[in-house]
Amino acid sequence: MAFLADALSRVKPSATIAVAQKARELKAKGRDVISLGAGEPDFDTPDNIKKAATDAINRGETKYTAVAGIQELREAIAKKYKRENNLDYTAAQVIVGTGGKQILFNALMATLNPGDEVVIPAPYWVSYPEMVALCGGTPVFVGTTIENNFKLQPEDLEKAITPKTKWFIFNSPSNPSGAAYSHDELKALTDVLMRHPHVWVLTDDMYEHLTFDDFKFATPAEVEPALYDRTLTMNGVSKAYAMTGWRIGYAAGPIALIKAMDMIQGQQTSGTNSIAQWAALEALNGPQVFIENNKKVFQGRRDLVVSMLNQAKGLNCPTPEGAFYVYPSCAGLIGKTAPSGKVIETDEDFVTELLEAEGVAVVHGSAFGLGPNFRISYATSEALLEEACSRIQRFCASCK
């Protein structure tokens, strides 16, 4: 009898974590490595948020909290949804988890049965299909194209939906492509979903506040209010507030689903870190000016990276609307020979040879379900990005 669970055979390790680990190992050996694989802002958590945490410690807010989160934070989240997304939720419809990952996992665990299908546009965040598989469901991938800036087309969504479809996972702005859907583009998708009342919407809005060029963010239940009763709207403080390590995600949705997620979380981790919750409360209720300042920095980095990558031989890099990623195609280098003498046959070959030759760590696109591409996170200094892009240009020019 096998000791490990059969479910593990359906799951792959996270490619983004693997790339970061490989970069760390090479650095430990003395290699000059620029790692562009991590999906977290390089800014520090704002001081007012850190002070709220220390104040909470000094007040003795160090006990277990309610599984779904402290009442003050749940009320603040409900107000955030009303203020920023025109969505009416009560605190009872809100749950706080240990990062967005736990929210998504608990929602899928609470709803999926063997044979249930989950539609996931590609490229996708690496954890979506693995969570679906762990929870006993079947991921159904729907491809996008670089010509459409990696945005799902309504006719493709229509074809992917079957009687077995339970969820549609939607992420805008997208990790890994940075693509963000306008109100009209989103309305075309919600029109499809309105024709399939058995399909629920799991929307990942984690990059909501990181959009550029006057782009106006919208979320599915806001665009189509008739989807409200079958939408779980997930968000968190990690990206916009530079709080990745605080591990706070949250969601709002129908009360029956929130109660089911609460029950799972109660047997799994119980309430989220109490101090991090008080910090998140200050993040949502406190000054928001720094978000706009950070966006300007990110937009400048995006423009630098897109420009330099499009000057590299064999690369094609669209300009994304949000997040802090670009997702260039390396199709022009497939079949070329790297300086090591190896023929580049896949995007994974490309990123492996790039790391070995130039010490630049990026993530191969096939890990996100769509290649031949690779993901660069530009959440680092312009000086490092300029050096990394120069090395990428040099590597591309050396491939014959």
Length reported for the chain: 400
Instruction: Please tell me the pTM assigned to this model.
Output: 0.96
Q: What is the pLDDT of residue 214?
A: 93
Helices and strands (H, E) in the chain, number of each type: 13, 12
Cα–Cα distance measured from residue 395 to residue 350, given in angstroms and rounded to the nearest whole number: 10
Cα–Cα distance measured from residue 27 to residue 34, given in angstroms and rounded to the nearest whole number: 9
Q: What is the pLDDT of residue 2?
A: 86
Cα–Cα distance measured from residue 229 to residue 214, given in angstroms and rounded to the nearest whole number: 30
Cα–Cα distance measured from residue 234 to residue 249, given in angstroms and rounded to the nearest whole number: 7
Q: What is the pLDDT of residue 25?
A: 87
Which residues are CB-contacts of 14 (< 8 A; sequence separation ≥ 6)? 126, 127, 130
Q: What is the pLDDT of residue 271?
A: 98
- Cβ–Cβ contacts within 10 Å for residue 101, how many? 17
| Domains defined along the chain, listed by start | 6-44+290-398 (3.90.1150.10), 61-285 (3.40.640.10)
- What is the sign of the dihedral through the CA atoms of 32, 38, 43 and 45? negative
CB burial class (10 A; 0-12, 13-18, 19+) of residue 14?
A: middle
Nearest to 284 by CA among 100, 79, 50, 103: 79
Q: What is the pLDDT of residue 27?
A: 85
Q: What tokens appear for 194 in the block? A: 């309105």
Q: What is the pLDDT of residue 11?
A: 83
Strand 231-236, strand 249-252: pairing: antiparallel
Residue that has been written with the tokens 């709002």 in this structure: 252
- What is the sign of the dihedral through the CA atoms of 117, 123, 125 and 127? positive
Q: What is the pLDDT of residue 355?
A: 93
Question: Over its length of 400 residues, how does the chain's per-residue pLDDT go in tens digits?
Answer: 889 988 888 888 777 777 778 888 888 889 999 999 888 899 999 999 999 999 999 999 999 999 999 999 999 999 999 999 999 999 999 999 999 999 999 999 999 999 999 999 999 999 999 999 999 999 999 999 999 999 999 999 999 999 999 999 999 999 999 999 999 999 999 999 999 999 999 999 999 999 999 999 999 999 999 999 999 999 999 999 999 999 999 999 999 999 999 999 999 999 999 999 999 999 999 999 999 999 999 999 999 999 999 999 999 999 999 999 999 999 999 999 999 999 999 999 999 999 999 999 999 999 999 999 999 999 999 999 999 999 999 999 999 9
The alpha carbons of the chain give a radius of gyration, in whole angstroms, of: 21
Q: Do 93 and 254 contact (CB within 8 A), yes or no? A: yes
Q: Do 270 and 102 contact (CB within 8 A), yes or no? A: no
